[in-house]
Each structure stands twice: as structure tokens, then as C-alpha cells.
Amino acid sequence: MKKTHAFAGLVLSTALFGAGLTNAFAADETLRSLADKNGIYIGAILNSQWFNGGLPGNYEQIHKSQFNIVVAENEMKFDATEPSENRFNYNNGDKMVKYAKANGMRVRGHALAWHSQVPNWVNNYKGNKQKLLSVLKNHIKNVVGHWKGQIDEWDVVNEAISNNEPQWRTGSVWYQGIGPEFIDSAFVWTHEVDPDAELCYNDYNLEQGVNPKAKAGFLLEQVKRWVKNGIPIHCVGSQTHVEDTTTDKHFIGSPDSLRSLAKELAKLNVKLKITELDIGFKSGINVSKSDLERQGQTFRQYLDIILEEPNADTYLIWGVSDKWSWLGGLNRQKGLIYDDNLKPKPAFDSILVRLQTYEPPKDTAKKDSTVKDSTAKDSTALDPGQSIKQFNAPNSLSLHVAGRTLFVTGLASKTAAKVDLLDLQGRPVYSTNCINGTVDLSNIAEGLYVVRVQNGSTNLTKRISIK
């Protein structure tokens, strides 16, 4: 099911108010309404700490106002849902499903057949094919059945391919006992239980090229075979746990490579989703402002795949704040879009601005129609001089350009405003503080830009043309 973009230009995001947001800062910054407008899902995990009530209140406020899709960090995995044989625990998963329902979010289920985070009682059946087949089938029957109709998409199989040379992960308890057909069976059983759920194969290092020597090349051959054999697979999830290129000299992945995989999957009518994105730096190094800006550009390049490829619809980040991230265990740091204090990082801005400025090609059919179509009632095509997003905060800001001067009005008296100029790709071009209500733009090249003014808790973002 596809949704047609009914608009080609920039739109007023009056849906901001519809999202039920209450404070000016959150309302101005929402990725969620922009994702809705662009017909994509943007999300972050609910961290395991959230399930125990161990996170500050603004974590949840940010999560529900910024994201329209959710997945549990650990709480729907095998060891969490079936800790002992045939005894199921759905408490945490139910909590997330309830949260998603209350906040109108799509739900990913993660993950059914995976070699990791399986309880010992499963590993004790190592090599016992018949037993392992019935264990996996029973797990899928119960878990998928419990959330039937409430989980929109499942990672049916996770990380079944070896990380080194492209071949199956032979050490997996499922592979060892059953052989690679455990994968085919898992898809078929899941589909039988919940025929409406989208079913994904999920893995990492898929951004390293689509050729027989790379994991994505091996996977593509399997997807072709599954599709040919009528195995119900609808999507490939690319975890996309990557490292900033300047700190990992050996890193060979790239957004372009992942885009190539999306294009190959499109030929098979299979979607590509980014399911666990983080872009970390090596632990221990000092991360500078420009490092964070470059990181933002990489976040944007991965987002471009989701915006531009017709069979790509989901951009899920593996965490909200750098403070609660699994990356420390990978010897990486600072891979997410909010800092330790839950303040948006440059990566957040890059994503936000890209979502604001993206103009889909005219008449492009894209995305799943289950994304709320807010365009019909909310969209108003604007010319480049108009505001793309304006929140009427109590202390209302406005701005306009005359000649080479930017005029900002409505500043709280004596408060300096931070003014950022970004290009239409979300790259920072110029930043300054504005105290007296004017900013000199005489050194800026002609063209279209996005200006962001931040004045205390009031923000304004507007597209301008410099001539």
C-alpha cells in the first residue's frame, strides 16, 4: 500500500499543534510531524531503563513528541519473552504496545529468531533438530499470537549471516541444530500467525557494498531465493551501527552502498528499513564541534535514502540520548542525536532541516499508507520566502530579509539570539549571535537557505532567499 505525496513544495506544519505538544521548544523541534508529512517513520528505541521507570520525564516527552515508530531495546527478545520453557512473560512488551497505542506510534517487534539473548534452556537443546524446530515454532506461535494485530512489523530473523566472510552464521544455535531452513520456517510460521504483519530479515554491516564478498551481496542472493520460493519476506532491516569515518580508518561502509542495496531490493519488491542507526566515535577521543557536525551530515545521508528511495520507509535510531546507549560496549561513544543532557545535537538539526526542506519529486508514489496522511488537511504550498514552520510562542519571533540584512523581531529584550544559517541539505553555513535584531549577510553566497533563530526557549525556522 502506497501513499501519494499530494504536495511538492514546503508545507506549513500546523500538525504540530495536532500532535498535542505543549511546550514551545518541543513543538518547534518535532521530527515526528515532519516525518508524517514526508510519509516516513522516524523513531528511536525505548531504552531498557525506560521499562523500569528509570529515566527522567523529559525522556518520554521527547520520545513521544519526536517519533512515530517504536521498538524495545531488549524486552521482546527471546530471553525476555520466554525465560523458561513454554512460560511467557509479556509484561514489558505489553507496556510498550500500550504506550505506542496511546501515542499513535507504529510498533516494531524485535526479534524472533536470533542466536543472541536466547536463554540457557534453549542452548541446552543444542544439535537437537526436532526439539529446536518445535521450540522455535512454539515461541513464534505464542509471542506473535499474543501481539497479533498490534505489532506492525517483526524482525523475524536477526543476524543469521556471519560477520567475516559472507556465509551463514554457523555457530548459531538455530543454524547448528536446524540448518539454514530455520529461516524459511520462521518466516512461514510468523506469517501464518499474523498475516498482516510486515516481516523483516535484520542484520548489520549491510552498508558495505552489494557484491559477493560483502554481507549484503550474500543476503541479496538469499532474498532472491526466498522471494522465488514464496517465503513471506517483506523487508530487510539494516541495523546500520556505524562509526564515524575519521575515527575508524578501516570502516568501508557508506550511505551510497546502503542505497545500492535498497535499489536491488526494490527489484524484488522488498523494502529496506534502517532499524538500529547509531554513528559513534571511538571511545576515549575528544569529540569536537566539527566532528559532531560531520556526524550530523552522515545522519542526513542515511536519511536521504529513506526519503528518496521508494521502497525505503523507516529510520530508527538505537537510542535517544548518548547517556543511555549500548555503544560503550562496542568501544564507541556519542553515536546518537541527543547529548547526555537530552539536548539536541547537530545531528538532530541536520535531520530536522532535511525533513523540512525535502521536496519529493512530483507525482511520486511513496510510503506505506498506514503513515498518517496529514498532508491533505495541513499542506499549503509556500513560496520560498515564506515560513516553513512557525510556532506561535508567547514571545513570537519573526524574521525577514531585506537586501543583505536579516531582521529579527520579537526578541526577548536584552537577550541574545543564536542565529544559524544552513543550506538546504542541513549543512551549517554560518552562525552568529544577534543582539540588536539585525544580522549582516553580505558575505553569504546567493541562494536558498534555512535560518534558525533560537531565543531562550523560543525558536523560529524559516527558508530565505539571498540575492
Count of residues that bind ligand XIL according to CB under 6 A: 7
> Do residues 86 and 137 touch, judged by C-beta distance below 8 A?
no
E strand segments, 172-256? 198-203, 235-238, 241-243
Smaller CB distance to ligand XIL: residue 115 or 462? 115
Where is 464: in which H helix or E strand? strand 458-466
Q: Cβ closer to ligand XIL: 280 or 346?
A: 280
172 binds ligand XIL (CB under 6 A): no
Known catalytic residues are 159, 276
> Is the distance from CB of 125 to CB of 177 less than 8 angstroms?
yes
- Dmax (CA) of the chain: 77
Q: Give the nearest distance from C-beta 80 to ligand XIL in angstroms.
A: 11
Minimum gap (Å) between residue 355 Cβ and ligand XIL: 25
Among 28, 73, 194, 243, binds ligand XIL (CB under 6 A): 73
Q: Cα–Cα distance between 232 and 209 in angstroms, integer?
A: 25
Cell of 231: 517465503
Q: CB of 310: closest distance to ligand XIL in angstroms?
A: 26
> Nearest residue by C-beta to ligand XIL?
326
Binding of residue 326 to ligand XIL (CB under 6 A) = yes
Contact 67, 44 (CB under 8 A): yes
Partners of residue 438 on adjacent β-strands: 407
Report if residue 322 touches ligand XIL, rule: CB under 6 A: no
Query: Rounded to the nearest whole angstrom, what is the least distance from the CB of residue 73 to ligand XIL in the complex?
Result: 5
By beta-carbon proximity to ligand XIL, the closer residue of 239 and 298 is 239
At 161, phi and psi to the nearest 5? -105, 140
- Regarding 158 and contact with ligand XIL (CB under 6 A), the answer is yes
CB nearer to ligand XIL: give 76 or 417: 76
Q: Which residues contact 125 (CB under 8 A, 6 or more apart)?
A: 131, 132, 135, 173, 177
Nearest approach, Cβ of residue 158 and ligand XIL (Å): 5
Site membership for ligand XIL, residue 74 (CB under 6 A): yes
Q: At what angle do helices 215-228 and 255-267 cross, to 10 degrees?
A: 10
CA dihedral defined by 63, 343, 334, 433, rounded to 10 degrees? 140
Residue 368 binds ligand XIL (CB under 6 A): no
Contact 346, 295 (CB under 8 A): yes
Residue 194 within binding range of ligand XIL, rule CB under 6 A: no
Of the pair 158, 333, the CB lying nearest ligand XIL is at: 158
The rounded distance, in Å, linking the Cα atoms of 222 and 116 is: 21
- Residue 252 beta carbon to ligand XIL: minimum distance, rounded to whole angstroms: 19
Q: Which is nearer to ligand XIL, 237 or 255 (CB)?
A: 237
Judge contact between 16 and 27, C-beta under 8 A: yes
**276 in contact with ligand XIL (CB under 6 A):** yes
Asked if 333 is part of the footprint of ligand XIL (rule: CB under 6 A), the reply reads no
Binding site for ligand XIL (CB under 6 A): 48, 73-74, 158, 239, 276, 326
